[in-house]
Structure 1
Amino acid sequence: MTTIKVEAANTKTTVIEKKKKVNRFLKSGVLGWVVILVVWQIASLFSEEMFLPSPYATFKGMIEIASDGTLFVYMGYSFARVLAGWSLGLLIAVPVGLLIGTNTWIRTILEPVINFVRFIPPLAFITLFMLWFGIGEQSKVFLIVYATFFVITINTLTGVLSISKDKLLSARSMGATKFQTLLHVVIPAAVPYIFTGAKLAMGSSFMAIIGAEMVAANEGIGFMIWNARLYFKTDWIFVGLVVLGLMGFLMDRLFTYGGRKFLARYKVVS
């Protein structure tokens, strides 16, 4: 009888361990990638390679571009531009969002303007930015700043406005100055919103830099995608798309890890 109970317990433990392994596998996201690759491969069988290259053809194209280091150089240029513009936009947008959120008069004046300008896509400003800042790096970086600014500003503003008035009144009643209230009440409450806005702004940054590199650049992933059309190198275009996804995914994961590590006390949701 005891032996049967032990065997039943071992069987139950084995089943639980298998379920845990299955759950870990599902949470890893590997299954989703496998499904995408299978669907992509099947779809490529019903199309010419020039229109839809297979995953293997795309991989060969990646090896072709990477063999002389060109792909890594292009990745470096695009990543540096995105990082510079996104970081600068973050540094500008957060103080602006806090200022608008904590000052009723400034919010009354600027909020309508922001809600008007933010609907103009960054790509519409490419020509103007080239005229104002030249065809060098400045125009590309400031285009990303523009794409980043409004997303982070609005999220920061939303975070400030979401703070309960009771918290602000409690801080004031205990003798806290406006600066102390901002530092110890407003900013901690707005951090999760700022974090979310910064993550969303990454996507806008990549969209902006690709458009800029297609129009006015001699290097970068956007330039590579745009240039590939001249030679009907559809596999290079898909390489660019895959690389962009990987770059964005890596940047998002690193930022999320940093948020978990350094902003855990602010209840940042990643």
Structure 2
Amino acid sequence: MSVDVRTVPEKLSRDKSAPTRRRGNWPRLTRVGLGVLSVLLGIAVWDLVSRNYTAFFLPSPMLTWQGAVELVRDGTLWDSVTASSTRILTGWALGVVIGVPVGLLMGCVPWLRLMLDPYIQFFRFVPPIAFVTLAIIWLGPGEASKVALIFYTTVFIVALNTLAGVLSVDELRLRAARALGANPVRTLASVVLPSTVPHVVTGARLAMGNSFLTIVSAEIVAAQSGLGSLIWTARNYAKTEWVFVGIIALGLLGYLFDWILRMVTSKTLRRYGVNF
């Protein structure tokens, strides 16, 4: 029995994608409903537990809501969200813009990878909070120090994920491109970059999460605005409900940023068989 080899990739792709569609083929209303139900159950458990403790130790959902309304009315919450968002997006964007080319160069140029690897391996284990004092001394207590810390958090994660994507490219595809006469630039654009895109997006998402960890530490140490500063100020005034408001705002803001990133990149990733 003969087999048409031209139809094999299509059949394999169809066979592999079918289980994925079945697993993720939940109606949108069902998915939203389950998410809302989960949140409501969590709030109910929070309310029940808070009744056994003082408001200073564990404020109730209602008290936290009242604190949020208070912070919204005087503009504190909006100013804090705006300040933190600006710092995160600026530092994160700079880290991605620098990290992707560095990862590509390290993956394509072996001698450069060997030279930069000691620095990458060293600094990626040094947490950004360790550089807060130096950032303030070198760049001052203004916006530059916070953005630099976010950049530091982002660039290594993105570079390493991009490097992993380049190194994972199938050697047979590279040989085929060279055999067909593709020069290094054409090979990079047509083979390496498409294979690396999912790794870049993964690195960018991971870096976004780490950026939120960094910004809180930086704003607690040296900032007059931002969600980290809000949490620290609430601690000084013994307003635990404000602490909860700041934490919830951070979580919602991170969820929003990650959702936007997934929506923006999902169409590109689908071309390479990746779903987030």
Aligned counterpart in structure 2 of residue 118 of structure 1, from 96, 99, 124: 124
Tell me the SS of whatever aligns to 2:106. Answer: helix
Amino acid at match of 1:217: A
Change beyond 3 A, Cα 1:220–1:263: same
Structure 1: tracts of 5 or more residues without a match? 1-19
Separation in 1 of the partners of 2:147 and 2:242?
Answer: 25
Q: CA deviation at 1:55?
A: 0.9
Alignment check: 8 A CA contact 2:128 2:214 kept: yes
1:195·1:268 contact (CA, 8 Å) conserved in 2? no
2:136 is matched with 130
1:208 aligns with 2:214: yes
The Cα of 1:117 is off from its aligned counterpart by: 1.1
User: Are the structure 2 counterparts of residues 23 and 247 from structure 1 closer, same or farther at C-alpha, using a change threshold of 3 Å?
Assistant: closer
What are structure 2's unaligned runs of at least 5 residues?
1-25
Deviations, residues 72-121 of structure 1 (Å, cap 9, x unaligned): 11110100110000001000000000000111111112123211210110
Match of 2:197 in 1: 191
Q: Percent identity?
A: 47
SS at match of 1:208: helix
Per-residue deviation, residues 233-267 of structure 1 (Å, max 9, x unmatched): 00000000000001000001111011123443233
Match of 2:107 among 101, 110, 114: 101
Match of 1:146 among 134, 152, 160: 152
- The one-character-per-residue Cα deviations of 1:182-230 (angstroms, maximum 9, x if unpaired) are 1111011000000011011111111111111101110111100011111
In structure 2, what is the Cα distance between the partners aligned to 1:264 and 1:68?
A: 44
Give the secondary-structure state (helix, strand or coil) at the position aligned to 1:92.
Answer: helix
Q: Which letter maps to 1:155?
A: N
SS at match of 1:246: helix
Determine the structure 1 residue equivalent to 2:64. 58
Distance 1:88 1:197 in 2: 14
Structure 1: distance between partners of 2:272 and 2:234? 45
Distance in structure 2 (CA, Å) of the matches to 1:121 and 1:238: 25
| Cα distance change of structure 1 residues 194 and 228 upon mapping to structure 2, 3 Å threshold | same
1:10 is aligned to none
2:178 is equivalent to residue 172 of structure 1: yes
Match 1:77 to one of 83, 96, 119: 83
Change (3 A) 1:258 1:114: same
- Provide the TM-score with structure 1 as the length reference: 0.89
Give the SS at the match of 2:223: coil
Distance 2:143 2:243 in 1: 23
AA matched with 1:207: L
1:259 is aligned, of 265, 268, 272, to 265
Q: Could you state the TM-score of these two structures normalised by the residue count of structure 2?
A: 0.87
SS at match of 2:81: helix
Check the 8 A contact 2:269/2:275 in 1, yes or no.
no
Where in structure 2 are the equivalents of 1:14-93 lying within 5 Å? Answer: 24-25=30-31, 28-93=34-99
Equivalent pairs, count: 251
Q: Is the 8 A contact 1:192 1:267 kept in 2?
A: no
Change (3 A) 1:25 1:158: closer
Distance in 1 between residues matched to 2:31 and 2:183, nearest whole Å: 52
Q: What is the SS of the residue equivalent to 2:57? A: coil
